[in-house]
Amino acid sequence: MSDGQTTDTVRRTTDPVLTVDNVTKSFGGVTALDGATLEVRDGEIVGVVGPNGAGKSTLFNCIMGVYELTDGRVELDGTDISSQRTDVIVNSGMSRTFQLARVFPDLTVRENMLINQEHRNERLVETLLSPSDQEVYDRADELLEFVGLEKLASSPAGELSTGQKKLLNIAGTLLSDPEIVLLDEPAAGVNPGLVDDIAQSILDLNDRGATFCIIEHDMDMIRSLSEYLYVLHNGTNLEQGEPETVLQKEAVLEAYFGQ
Amino acid sequence: MSVADRYVGGVDRFRVYYQHLASLPPAVQFGLVFGPAMLFPVLYTTGLTSWQFLNTMTLTFLFIGLGHGWNVIGGYAGQISLGHAVMFAVGAYTTAVLLVYYGITPWIGIPLGGVLASAAGLILGGVTFRLRYHYFALATLAAALAVESLFNRWDFIGASVGLQYTGVESGLSSFVFEPRWIHFYAMWVFALLVTLLIYRLHHSRLGIYLKAINMDQELAANAGLNVFRYKMYAMGLSSFIVGVGGGLYVQYVNFVSPVETLDLVRNVEILLIPIIGGLGTVFGPIVGAFIYMPTREYTRGMFAGTLVGVDWVIFGLVLLLVVIYAPHGLVNRLRDTFGNPKGGETDE
C-alpha cells in the first residue's frame, strides 16, 4: 500500500488489541477519513497526531461506533466491531475519553465513576434493588485516589476544574478494566501543572498493564508518552513509527507547517 | 432590633427547622407525611372535617403515586411524556371491564391493568424513544390524542359514554367499599408503597443511570449503558405505577369514560405534580400533589356553576408563582435556600 511509509525500528511483539483497517468515513460529499489504518498492541501507548482537520477525532468516533463506517473494518481482539453500538463496544472492552472533558455535572464524582462499571452481565431488576458491589466501590475509590480526586469523591462533578474532569474521565474509563483506552487530547485545556499529573498517571497505569491510544497536540507530551506514533493528514496515514524519527520527517513537518 | 434583623432571624429559624427535618432518617420523614394522614378518615367520620376535605385528600394520595410514576420517566430519565393518561386509562378500563363485564375481582384487575399499562408504555416508548426532547413530548401527546379518539369510538368499552358500575355490589372482592372513606386507605397504601419504591430507585444504580441518561445520553452510552434499554425499563416501571393508579381511581369513582381518563388535562396534571414539587426527587411529587390537588378541588368547588374557568385562572397563577420562584421545583428551592451547601450531606 502506498499510504504510510513505515520506519519500523520498534519491535512490536505483543498481540494486536485494536486493528483499524482502511477505514473511510464520508459526510455527504466530504471525506473525513480516507482509508485510515492503525494498530495498537497489548501494553502499548500509541500516539495519533496530525494537523487540525486530519480526521483524528473522526477516527475515534468511527472506532467507538458513534459514526457508522462508510468503508473498512475495526477489530477489537480479533472480533469485528465495525459500526456496532457504542455501549456494545464499551462492554466488549474498549473505552474512550473526549477532547472536551465531559462529566455528569449533577452527580457526585464517585457516582460519575460508578456509571462506568461493568454493564455486561447486569440484570435490570438488580439495578433497581441492589446498590453497586462493594468491590466496584473500592475499585472506584482506589482509582480516584490514584488520580488524586479522592477528597472530592462526594462533590458534584460539575464543580471540578477542566483538568480534574479530564482526570475523572481517565479514571472512569479504567473502572471496567478495559483492554484498551482511547484518550482524545487528554492535555488540551488543562493547566500546565496538571498536564504533568495526567501524563504521569497514564505512564503509571501503563506500567500496571493498561493499553492506550492517544490523540494529542502537545508534542512534548506525545514524545514522552508514546512508543509508537501514527501521523494522519487529510484523513489518511502519512507516517508511522518511532516518535523521534517520525516527527523529524520532511512530510510531517510540511503537513504541520506547510513548508 | 430592627424589622430586618427580625426577618433574618425568621429565615434562620426556618433554616434550623429545615436542616433538622432534612437530617432525620428517611423512615421518620415518610412517617411525618403518612402518619398523621392516617387520621383523615377519622376526622371525617367524627364530623371534624367535610367530605370535600377527605375526597381531596383521597385524590391527593392517588396523585402522589401517579406523580411518582411519571417522575420515573420524566424526572429521573428526563423523557417528558405528555401521554401518560393513556397508561392511566388502560389501567382504569382494564379493571372496569373485567369487573363489570366478567365479574373478575379488581384484586386481579388492578395489577393486570398495571401490566397492560406497562405494555402500552413499552409500545409507546419503543416507537417514540428514537425521538428526543420536544419531538418526543409531541409524539407522546399525539399518541394520547389518538387513543382518546379510539376509546371514544370503541363500543365494547362504552365509547364516549364510558362504563358505569351499575349492579356492582360493594364488598371486599368487588373492591368497592362502603362507606367510601375506606378508599382513602387504598390510595394511602398505594402512595406509601410507590414512595418507598421511588426512594429505593433514587438510591439505586438504576437511579444514577437514569439521571445520567437524562444529563448526557452520548456520555451514558460511552460509559457502556444501553440507553434505549434503560429508558424502556423506566417507561415500563412508570407505566405500571400509573396503570395501577388508574385501577384504584375507577374503583373509587365507579365510573370510567374517555373524558374522565384521557382528557388533555389528565395528561398534563400527572406531570405538573412532580414539576411543581421537583423533578427527580423523592419528595417532589408529594409536595406537588399537596399543592395541586387541594387547589384544583377547592377552586373547582368554589366556582362551579357561577364562574366556570376561574379555578383554572387561579391554578395558572399558582403555577406561575412556582415557575418564577422555584423553577426547579419547591423541594429543590427549599434545599437551595435552607439546606447547608457545605457539610450537610444527606445522601450517603
Does residue A133 sit within a domain? Answer: no
Q: How many CA atoms lie within 13 A of A146 on its CB side?
A: 25
Q: Which fold has domain B43-338?
A: ABC transporter involved in vitamin B12 uptake, BtuC (1.10.3470)
Question: How high is the pLDDT of residue A9?
Answer: 56
Closest alpha carbon to A146 in A192, A90, A203, A105: A203
CATH number, residue A94: 3.40.50.300
Q: What is the DSSP letter of A16?
A: E
C-alpha span between B103 and B257 (Å, rounded):
19
C-alpha span between A237 and A37 (Å, rounded):
7
Does residue A237 sit within a domain? Answer: yes
Model ipTM?
0.89
Residue of chain B minimizing CA distance to A172: B223
Q: How far, CA to CA in Å, does B4 sit from each of B1, B8, B12, B24, B334? A: 8, 6, 12, 31, 21
Does residue A27 sit within a domain? Answer: yes
Binding-site residues on chain A for chain B (CB distance < 8 A) = 64, 66, 85-87, 90-91, 95-96, 98, 102-107, 111, 114-116, 118-120, 122, 124, 126-132, 154, 172, 176
Q: Could you tell me the three cell numbers for A140?
A: 472506584
Q: Could you tell me the three cell numbers for B300?
A: 373547582
- Domain holding A91, by residue range, is 14-102+177-257
The pLDDT profile of chain B, 348 residues, written as one tens digit per residue, is 455 555 556 667 778 888 888 888 888 999 999 999 999 999 999 989 999 999 999 999 999 999 999 999 999 999 999 999 999 999 999 999 999 999 999 999 999 999 999 999 999 999 888 887 788 889 999 999 999 999 999 989 988 888 999 888 888 988 989 899 999 999 999 999 999 999 999 989 999 999 999 999 999 999 999 999 999 999 999 999 999 999 999 999 999 999 888 888 888 889 999 999 999 999 999 999 999 999 888 888 777 677 777 777 887 888 888 888 888 888 888 888 887 644 344 443
Q: Chains A, B: CB contacts under 8 A, how many?
A: 83
Closest CA of chain B from A256, distance in Å: 31
Q: Do A95 and B206 touch (CB under 8 A)?
A: no
Question: How high is the pLDDT of residue B340?
Answer: 61
Q: Do A115 and B227 touch (CB under 8 A)?
A: no
Angle, CA of B124, B125 and B129, to the nearest 5°: 130
Q: What's the burial of B36, exposed, middle or buried (CB within 10 Å: 0-12/13-18/19+)?
A: exposed
Q: What is the pLDDT of residues A22-57, one digit of tens each?
A: 999 999 888 999 999 999 999 999 999 988 888 899
Q: Kindly report the pTM of this predicted structure.
A: 0.89
Does residue A136 sit within a domain? Answer: no
Which range has the worst mean pLDDT, A3-12, A74-83, A108-117, B29-38? A3-12
Does residue A155 sit within a domain? Answer: no
- Domains: count for chain A: 1
Q: Do B206 and A64 touch (CB under 8 A)?
A: no
Phi, psi of A60 (to 5 degrees): -60, -40
Mutate to test the interface with A, among B205, B215, B229, B336 (most CBs of A within 10 A): B205
Question: How high is the pLDDT of residue B343?
Answer: 38
Nearest to A132 among B205, B211, B345 (CB): B205
Q: B203 at the A interface (CB within 8 A)?
A: yes
Decide: helix, strand or coil at residue A6: strand
What's A24-75 look like in SS3?
A: EEEECCEEEEEEEEEEEECCCEEEEECCCCCCHHHHHHHHCCCCCCCEEEEE
